[in-house]
Amino acid sequence: MITKTAVSVSSSLSLFNFNGEHSRSVPFSTHSVSFGRKENATVVLCATKGGNNNRALTGVLFEPFEEVKKELDLVPTVPQASLCRHKYVDESEAAINEQINVEYNVSYAYHALFAYFDRDNVALKGLAKFFKESSAEERNHAEKLMDYQNKRGGKVKLQSIVMPLSEFDHADKGDALHAMELALSLEKLTNEKLLNLHWVASKTGDVHLADFVESEFLGEQVEAIKKISEYVAQLRRVGKGYGVWHFDQMLLHGEAV
C-alpha cells in the first residue's frame, strides 16, 4: 500500500532511509513535493539549511552520554583540587611521597661518600666519581617520581632528610670495602621500598602506577645490586693496599672492573 503526502517548504530536502543513513538531497523552493510511504519501508523527509548541506536539522541539542555525565560529576570546581586526578587513591599518593624521600636520602648518603673519597688525604678519585654519579642518579629518580606525582594529580610533600655519616674508614675492612658494602645495603633497601610501592599499586588496582614502577625502576635496581655485589666481592679479594688503588683507577677511567 502506498500513500502520498504533499508538503510545501522553502530550502532543500534530504532523504534518509530506515537506518538513518543519508540517501540523497533534493533542492527545491516553494513547490509542493510528494513522497510515498510503502508498507515495511520508512522514508523520512528532512529540511536542511542549504542545497549543499546534507545534515538534517533535528532540532535536538547535543547532550553528553549518560556515562559521561557521571564522569562530569567527578570534575572538581574548586581551584585547589587537581583536574587530572583519576583513579589515584590517597595510599598510592602517600607511597610515592615516601619513595621520593627514600631516593633523596640515598642520594644524600652517596654525596657524603663522594665528599669523603674526594678528600686530599684519601684521594680515591675513582670511588669519588662513582659515588657522585650514584648520588645524581638517585636524585634523578626522586625527580622522576615527583613528575609522576604531579602527572597523576597528587601533591608532592617533601620530608626531612637524615644527616648521613661523614667518616667511612674501617679498621678491618678499609674504607673502600666498607663504603661499597654500605652502598649495596642502600641499593637493597631502595629495592625493598620500590617493591612495597609496587605492592601498593597492585593492591589498589592502579595498573598505571604498577607499570611505571616496573618499567622505570625495578629492572634498573636489579642491575645496580648485581654490579655493586661484584664490586664488594672484588674489594674483598684485593685487601686494603695496592689493590684498592688499582680498583679505584679502573673506576676512574671507566674500565670494566
- Answer yes or no: is 103 a known binding residue: yes
Contact 113, 179 (CB under 8 A): yes
Q: Grid coordinates standing for 248?
A: 679505584
- Answer yes or no: is 167 a known binding residue: no
- Answer yes or no: is 170 a known binding residue: no
- Answer yes or no: is 138 a known binding residue: yes
- Answer yes or no: is 221 a known binding residue: yes
Residues forming the annotated binding site?
103, 138, 141, 187, 221
Residues forming the annotated binding site for Fe cation?
103, 138, 141, 187, 221
